[in-house]
Chain A
Amino acid sequence: MNGIFIIFQISLMLFIVLNVLFIFLVIRKIHSNKFERQKEHWKKYYLKHIDSAIRGKENLVVPDQPSMMDAFEEVLAKYYSLMKGNTDTSIRIEELAEQVFHNYYKKRLRHGRWSIRMNTLHRIEKFRMVSLIEDCVTIYNEKRTSDIESIQILRILANLQDDRIYSILLKEEREFPSFYYLDLFTRLDERLFNKFTKVIENFPLTIQFSLIEAMGDRGDYTYIPTIEFYLLSENAESRIRALKSLVKVGYLTDVEKIKPSLHGETWQERMMAARLIKPLRDKRFIDDLLLLLTDENWWVRTTAAESIIAQQNGQEILEDVANTHVDRFARDIATEWLFRKGKKSVVR
């Protein structure tokens, strides 16, 4: 009987708590819907007047309540995206953002909730708010700051070509996903990027890999010697990244350097090396490629065939393989590529 009474009490209590929460949430929803309507109203106003205000033809009502602030923020962000490339206008938008948002953002960077800090960091990046960089760098070193926030701060620094990104990354012990390093390096201008590449070996391996790839992505011939240097690296991943990078550039000074990679231990290395021969169109490697046609890995075989068919007399070579080669895998892959080349009507 006692147990029943306890359970009854518990369920009654839960029921009451839930109802109180429900009422609270309904009231909050009514408020937030009202807020949304006000925000919509102000968005319309700002959308209508932003253009002439930026040109200095009229003065905007300065936002002094949260719904206006939100509306202004959204409109300005949208307008800024539209005006990308127009330097004069962009500068004026940035000035306006500094004026209106500086104190607001400064406070929100210290907010207890992660999502609000994150949103603020994104806005600071968007409006290129130089005045808040110090605050961001301070936050970077705080314990509470998550990896994602740190990455966002690095991105702000990268966009503004701030040299501190270099010193921070040199000291950083955490390792971020390579996607973000690549993203950061593509944002840097030549001066800052070269600062990294000059001392590439002082960075941890993940950053080195990303730098190798980023150099290839820039397609600039001046980086080729550095990339080529990594072709002879002890580390297989470095060699693979260097090959990948060179595929993007489509050129290298000393082709002999890729020879060992054609017979590398991992299939990724062999495949990347085989792929690099396609843009090089170097006859000296035909024999190596023919050997790769019998590789145990499908990706290596198919890439080798692709590179052969791109050579001057590639089609004949593959036809020969398809008809006479002793290895069945080699014959299959050759047939497939001859088939693709001849019949594929839609090329991506």
Chain B
Amino acid sequence: MSFASIFSTLLIVFTFFVAIYMVGIIVFYFILFIISALQLRKEYNLDQYEPYEEVAQSSFTRPVSILVPAYNEEAGIVPSVRSLLSINYPEYEVIVINDGSKDNTLKEMIANFEMVKVEKAIRKQVSSNEIVQVYQSPIYENLYVIDKLNGGKADALNAGINVAQYPYFCSLDGDSIIERDAFAKVMKPIIDSKEDIVAVGGSVRIANGCTIERGEVMKVELSKSPLVIMQVIEYFRAFLMGRIGLSRHNLLLIISGAFGVFHRESVIKVNGYRTNTVGEDMDLVVRLHKLIKEEKSGKRIVYVPDPVCWTEAPESSKILRRQRSRWHRGLFESLWHNRKMLFNPKYGLVGMISMPYFFIVEFLGPVIELIGYIIMILSPFVGGIYTSFALLLFMLAIIYGSLLSMSAVLLEEWSLRRYPKVIDLVRLYVYSLSEAFWFRPLTVFWRVEGIIQLIKGNNSWGEMSRKGVSK
């Protein structure tokens, strides 16, 4: 067999492999899309305030501890905390965990909220690095700061869990802005389900371009930066299309680290967050699923689209690239640490659908897509029938990259409608059309890069520079 014939056989095999893979995913996504559309439409235009009034005001509501891990967040921590102190919820405490910041995070907190040292007996239920001091604010008595030795975000959250005193806790990023009614909205499913829910995730939206004053989003507008717009579309795709569909069947494996509520006792049962991973948020959810299945408690993990938390997205490709390869490593670690669950019927649908989906589509997907791109570039040179192979893959890539994203944009406009301007909708739509041509390939490269780093054994976080979202 000559080299040329081996090459062409390989080309055919790979083309069909990639094509079948992509058709499979496109079908899967469209199913999710339909489930989501029906769900979202049911709640279309539901009053933003009335249904949550009793949750927000009743003294029978479950209190929540809000944990805010902060590492070098001096630029954004104070407005974030201010917005937390004005949320509409009857009983809660805010615990900022200063994870050994090298900047003035702690000083900013002390200066702005007159924090004073308090003695607090801490019950060590999950392991964490040493807590140096606990502070409390005399102005806002439900505001605490924990000063601890650096140990990473997961470790900071574990320290927070030890200090927290309420049955539910919420993990929140130090630089994100939460809407005032978000807690009532995120707790409502817990109450409605007779507390059969161990974790709830809300939506994360991108704040770049919005007007934010004193820790509150005043005006929602789309950023001008193409990279940011693409991320906005990506979030629509992930949250509105992916998570609603998965959540309906209790298949959800990710609750964003930026905004999620957890049942504290359940998290303690699984020993809190795992500290030696960059994907601690997904890892926790996977282990909670494991606990549910092992205890046969029938409890659920859900996603609710409406409560929104606004966060700053990276504007430069350099930082975005780091973020994406880091996320990809995190994804792998969560899958690796819990590999026992993969294709294991003992873990029900989570073992048989969610885990394989995350492994094949989310983790290996970029590699397969990359092969697809290579074939697209190579085939036309071979000529003849191979040119049409390239065409086939190209069209599939457009459906997968652009058409699905366009659907996600339209779905958002059809249901939640957070962007009031007509021009924003037009821009979102036009940009989503372009996704397959530049942004999708870029993220594929970055994620493959993450896989390469994994093989090389790189575990660093990559510095994230923040400029602070609030004015």
Contacts and interface: CB of A to CB of B under 8 A. Distances in A.
Contact of B392 (A4, A15, A126): A4
B46 A118 contact: yes
Nearest to B409: A22
Contact of B136 (A33, A118, A340, A346): A346
Contacts of B395: 4, 7-8, 11
A114 interface: yes
Contacts of B417: 29
B230 interface: no
A336 to B, nearest CB: 4
A168 interface: no
Contacts of B44: 113, 115
Nearest to B62: A179
B410 interface: yes
B118 interface: yes
A178 B194 contact: yes
Interface in A1-40: 1, 3-4, 7-8, 10-11, 14-15, 18, 21-22, 25-26, 29-30, 33, 36
B110 to A, nearest CB: 14
A115 B60 contact: no
A115 B410 CA distance: 20
Nearest to B55: A179
Among A115, A123, A178, the most chain B Cβ lie within 10 Å of the Cβ of: A115
Given A7-B396, A122-B50, A340 B413 contact: no
Contacts of B403: 11, 14-15, 18
Interface string A163-198: 000000000000001111011000000000000000
Given A122-B47, A177-B191, A29 B388 contact: no
A344 interface: yes
Nearest to A337: B121
A344 B119 contact: yes
A346 B116 contact: yes
Interface string A118-144: 110011001000000000000000000
A298 interface: yes
Contacts of B138: 346
Contacts of A113: 41-42, 44
A343 B119 contact: yes
B60 A345 contact: no
A119 B119 contact: no
Given A14-B399, A22-B406, A177-B191, A340 B429 contact: no
A340 B121 contact: yes
The range of chain A's interface size is: 35 or more
A4 B116 CA distance: 70
Contact of B388 (A1, A122, A126, A340): A1
A116 B47 CA distance: 9
Contact of B425 (A26, A122, A336): A26
Nearest to B53: A122
A33 B45 contact: no
A176 B106 CA distance: 45
Nearest to A339: B119
Nearest to A179: B191
B43 interface: yes
Given A11-B399, A344-B118, A348-B141, A18 B422 contact: no
A115 B426 CA distance: 27
B422 A115 contact: no
A119 B52 CA distance: 12
A340 B122 CA distance: 12
Contacts of B399: 7, 10-11, 14
A255 interface: no
B54 interface: yes
A119 B51 CA distance: 8
A83 interface: no
B410 A22 contact: yes
A155 B51 CA distance: 12
Nearest to A148: B192
B338 interface: no
Contacts of B60: 179, 182-183
Interface string B26-56: 0000000000000001111111001100100
Contacts of B42: 113-115
Given A18-B406, A119-B47, A179-B191, A4 B391 contact: yes
Contacts of B195: 177
Contacts of B414: 25
A4 B389 CA distance: 8
B49 to A, nearest CB: 9
A214 to B, nearest CB: 10
A29 B116 contact: no
B45 A115 contact: yes
Contacts of A1: 388
A122 B191 contact: no
A3 to B, nearest CB: 7
A29 B422 contact: yes
Given A4-B388, A15-B403, A179 B58 contact: yes
Contacts of B426: 26
23 contacts: A1-B388, A3-B19, A3-B392, A4-B395, A7-B399, A10-B399, A11-B398, A14-B403, A25-B413, A26-B422, A115-B43, A115-B45, A115-B46, A119-B45, A177-B193, A178-B194, A179-B61, A182-B60, A183-B58, A339-B121, A340-B119, A346-B116, A348-B141
Given A179-B58, A182-B58, 6 more contacts: A1-B388, A33-B422, A123-B50, A177-B191, A180-B191, A339-B119
Interface of A: 1, 3-4, 7-8, 10-11, 14-15, 18, 21-22, 25-26, 29-30, 33, 36, 113-116, 118-119, 122-123, 126, 147-148, 155, 177-180, 182-183, 298, 336, 339-340, 343-346, 348
- Closest A-B pairs by Cβ, 10 of them: A122-B50, A115-B46, A336-B121, A177-B194, A4-B392, A179-B191, A182-B60, A119-B47, A343-B119, A25-B413
Interface of B: 19, 41-47, 50-51, 54, 58, 60-61, 116, 118-121, 123, 136, 138, 141-142, 191-195, 388, 391-392, 395-396, 398-399, 403, 406-407, 410, 413-414, 417, 420, 422, 425-426, 429
